[in-house]
A and B are shown apart, each in its own frame.
Chain A
């Protein structure tokens, strides 16, 4: 039955990897990942980090020193009038002038000078607090004690993690996994249906189907595109890791991913989820004759996937909800929801086994039904495959 799997698998994978679409999409995504993980660095490189030269008209000699100690270097005391200040700012001699009277201040500048005003405000507040404390004769230890934050130490008994840091990182891992599953099924799944439809519309299919069992052909396509997916995701993850290293979320997610249990569940549910949806996509792709139609045909499956994703997003905050529990056994939802549950709550082994069993069973049934439709479908060049499903099945009888 698996005769010809090898050549089909190798040919599909090779032509996909060499295709311009693959090279371009990989390059663009890498660029995107680079941009996304370095967004703060990129933003700051565009920012005008030069401090506007500033004058402060005041009698308080400590003010300028305080501002300098807070990091505003280009500031000096002055005694100019407001008119001179306006002329100086318009002429570009200095960027900003503040007139300080007691602890009140008036700031004149060409445009908002966020950094200057913040530091001025903080400095004035510090000076005023110091003066108030001194005049009230309060013990400085009391002041320190007042500003001390309250320590709160939480412990969770659930699966996700013993404290909020761990819970956050396992939620983040689940979130990353859900996104990965969702995006890759949509991307690579539609790639499979397009692949099958293209072979069909170019009529290469007639040559292939006369030599190869339909299930073998389907599995070869699904595996080749699956391998392509793993290669591409591998490239993205590797690149993302290098590019994002240093970010706190990435570090916690990576620490958590080091957990063997998480990695195994991730792989199992990812592969089974991909296999189920991919074989559905392959069957649907075989029913239409043109690539444009294949997009329309796979719509219901994508809807199902979107529904599963939405429930999973809800389940991220409510992993104990009944709907999440029930749907985690339904094959089309199981890859996302059962993974979410095993990561975030305690799940009995039999529940996981049942869910995986149902998933495998459904994949088997999909392939079996698919093979019935596949041979008939690839020879069917009519326009409405749903109305004519009977004819498609009869093609093979």
Chain B
């Protein structure tokens, strides 16, 4: 039971949007697809949804072509009818997924209650705030109880309270056995929620795998040191660079084995050391290293 993306390529004329992409998301897991704007995330999602046909390669769910009825999709650009009533269009969108309208009406009620917005059921979408519209959009993706959920930038535009509500629901879905693929610019969300990630650059997967093993692969021999005598380290050959960082300095070594040399030098000079710790690598660091640019 898994979503399998196998050597998928998508070309638009001369432009290759997705290049030989392979990844696998086991059932009940959450996969984070990361990448700068234009890296091919949305194109990949559209191919999973069969809106676009891959130029090459295959996309399967449990070994078969993906049936749109089992997929829930939250598009990056939110799409709702502004002039329609919330319940009416949710029931309509669910009916496109083959849901009966009486079931859909019941599901709308319970979802709106779960997201703490039952009062919006009979309002028009244009009357709601952007964050609440996004919750409605999420309900549209989840209403028909899909096995596979694709969330394109689910957290963008939400305030911190709503981000927490959304995270809670996404985790509940995963615990209920739903397979989730999502993209985000916010690395801390991906780090917090996903067991597996893939980083796309120019349509290629530059990094992919489970989060702890990626982190250990990218772990760098760097120390975070807060001291009044940082200059005494400048002459040490075991040190590659020293850069000011937050309230102290980031000291990059050639190897972690040399960290005791650094500490003993500080002690020898009777430096006042407030902090001496191994600098952990974050997904953000890996992303910036691989993609080579900040993301907005």
Chain B 113-144 interface 0/1 with A at a Cβ cutoff of 8 Å (1 = within): 00000000000000000000000000010000
The answer to whether B83 touches A206, judged by C-beta atoms less than 8 angstroms apart, is no
- Can you report 14 A-B residue pairs in the complex whose CB atoms are below 8 A from each other? A8-B96, A14-B88, A15-B81, A19-B83, A203-B79, A206-B46, A206-B77, A207-B75, A208-B96, A210-B51, A212-B96, A379-B46, A379-B51, A395-B52
Taking CB atoms, residues of chain B closer than 8 Å to A202 are 79-82
List the B residue with the shortest CB-CB distance to A392.
Answer: B12
A1-22 residues with Cβ-Cβ distance < 8 A to B are 4, 7-8, 11, 14-15, 19
Taking CB atoms, residues of chain A closer than 8 Å to B84 are 15
The answer to whether A7 touches B77, judged by C-beta atoms less than 8 angstroms apart, is no
| Interface residue ranges, B against A (CB under 8 Å) | 11-13, 46, 49-53, 55, 68-69, 71, 73, 75, 77-84, 88-89, 92-93, 95-97, 140
Write the nearest CB–CB distance from B70 to chain A, whole angstroms: 12
The answer to whether A4 touches B51, judged by C-beta atoms less than 8 angstroms apart, is no
Instruction: Decide yes or no whether A205 CB sits under 8 A from chain B.
Output: yes
Q: A203-B75, A203-B77 are in contact. Are A7 and B95 (CB under 8 A)?
A: yes
Taking CB atoms, residues of chain B closer than 8 Å to A8 are 96
Q: A8-B96, A19-B83, A397-B55 are in contact. Are A203 and B13 (CB under 8 A)?
A: no
Taking CB atoms, residues of chain A closer than 8 Å to B12 are 391, 394-395
CA distance A14 to B101 in the complex (A): 15
Taking CB atoms, residues of chain B closer than 8 Å to A4 are 95-96
The answer to whether A7 touches B92, judged by C-beta atoms less than 8 angstroms apart, is yes
Taking CB atoms, residues of chain A closer than 8 Å to B73 are 206-207, 210
The answer to whether A211 touches B75, judged by C-beta atoms less than 8 angstroms apart, is no
Taking CB atoms, residues of chain A closer than 8 Å to B69 are 211
Taking CB atoms, residues of chain B closer than 8 Å to A7 are 92, 95-96
Q: How large is the interface on A (under 10, 10 to 19, 20 to 34, 35 or more residues)?
A: 20 to 34
Taking CB atoms, residues of chain B closer than 8 Å to A199 are 81
The answer to whether A210 touches B68, judged by C-beta atoms less than 8 angstroms apart, is yes
Taking CB atoms, residues of chain A closer than 8 Å to B50 are 210
The answer to whether B97 touches A211, judged by C-beta atoms less than 8 angstroms apart, is yes
Instruction: Decide yes or no whether A375 CB sits under 8 A from chain B.
Output: yes
Instruction: Decide yes or no whether A204 CB sits under 8 A from chain B.
Output: yes
Chain A 250-294 interface 0/1 with B at a Cβ cutoff of 8 Å (1 = within): 000000000000000000000000000000000000000000000
CA distance A248 to B166 in the complex (A): 69
A-B pair count, CB < 8 Å, reads 69
Instruction: Decide yes or no whether A128 CB sits under 8 A from chain B.
Output: no
The answer to whether B96 touches A205, judged by C-beta atoms less than 8 angstroms apart, is no
Instruction: Decide yes or no whether A390 CB sits under 8 A from chain B.
Output: yes
The answer to whether B140 touches A396, judged by C-beta atoms less than 8 angstroms apart, is no
Within 8 Å by CB of B49, from A205, A210, A390, lies A210
Taking CB atoms, residues of chain A closer than 8 Å to B55 are 397
14 additional A-B residue pairs with CB within 8 Å, beyond A211-B97, A375-B51, A396-B52: A7-B92, A19-B83, A199-B81, A202-B80, A202-B81, A203-B75, A208-B96, A210-B71, A211-B69, A390-B13, A391-B12, A391-B13, A394-B11, A395-B52
CA distance A391 to B17 in the complex (A): 13
Instruction: Decide yes or no whether A209 CB sits under 8 A from chain B.
Output: yes
CA distance A11 to B89 in the complex (A): 8
The answer to whether B68 touches A211, judged by C-beta atoms less than 8 angstroms apart, is yes
The answer to whether B93 touches A207, judged by C-beta atoms less than 8 angstroms apart, is yes
Q: A212-B96, A379-B46, A390-B13 are in contact. Are A207 and B52 (CB under 8 A)?
A: no
Taking CB atoms, residues of chain A closer than 8 Å to B13 are 390-391, 394
Taking CB atoms, residues of chain A closer than 8 Å to B92 are 7, 11
Taking CB atoms, residues of chain A closer than 8 Å to B71 are 210
A-B pairs, 9 with minimum CB distance? A203-B79, A7-B95, A204-B79, A210-B49, A211-B96, A203-B77, A11-B92, A206-B75, A211-B68
Write the nearest CB–CB distance from B281 to chain A, whole angstroms: 36
CA distance A104 to B21 in the complex (A): 106
The answer to whether B79 touches A205, judged by C-beta atoms less than 8 angstroms apart, is yes
The answer to whether A396 touches B96, judged by C-beta atoms less than 8 angstroms apart, is no
CA distance A8 to B93 in the complex (A): 9
The answer to whether B83 touches A204, judged by C-beta atoms less than 8 angstroms apart, is no
A182-206 residues with Cβ-Cβ distance < 8 A to B are 199, 202-206
CA distance A390 to B14 in the complex (A): 11
Within 8 Å by CB of A15, from B52, B79, B83, lies B83
CA distance A5 to B69 in the complex (A): 15
Write the nearest CB–CB distance from A19 to chain B, whole angstroms: 7
Taking CB atoms, residues of chain A closer than 8 Å to B52 are 379, 395-396
CA distance A67 to B97 in the complex (A): 83
The answer to whether B79 touches A206, judged by C-beta atoms less than 8 angstroms apart, is yes
Taking CB atoms, residues of chain A closer than 8 Å to B79 are 202-207
List the B residue with the shortest CB-CB distance to A7.
Answer: B95
Taking CB atoms, residues of chain A closer than 8 Å to B95 are 4, 7
Taking CB atoms, residues of chain B closer than 8 Å to A204 are 79-81
CA distance A206 to B11 in the complex (A): 20
A201-230 residues with Cβ-Cβ distance < 8 A to B are 202-212
CA distance A14 to B84 in the complex (A): 10
Taking CB atoms, residues of chain B closer than 8 Å to A14 are 88
CA distance A166 to B164 in the complex (A): 77
Chain A 138-157 interface 0/1 with B at a Cβ cutoff of 8 Å (1 = within): 00000000000000000000
CA distance A207 to B92 in the complex (A): 11
For B79, B83, B97, which residue has the most chain A Cβ atoms within 10 angstroms? B79
The answer to whether B51 touches A206, judged by C-beta atoms less than 8 angstroms apart, is yes
List the B residue with the shortest CB-CB distance to A205.
Answer: B79
CA distance A397 to B53 in the complex (A): 6
Taking CB atoms, residues of chain A closer than 8 Å to B82 are 202
For A4, A14, A210, which residue has the most chain B Cβ atoms within 10 angstroms? A210
List the B residue with the shortest CB-CB distance to A396.
Answer: B53
CA distance A208 to B50 in the complex (A): 12
Write the nearest CB–CB distance from A333 to chain B, whole angstroms: 36
A366-397 residues with Cβ-Cβ distance < 8 A to B are 375, 379, 390-391, 394-397
CA distance A396 to B75 in the complex (A): 19
CA distance A329 to B46 in the complex (A): 43
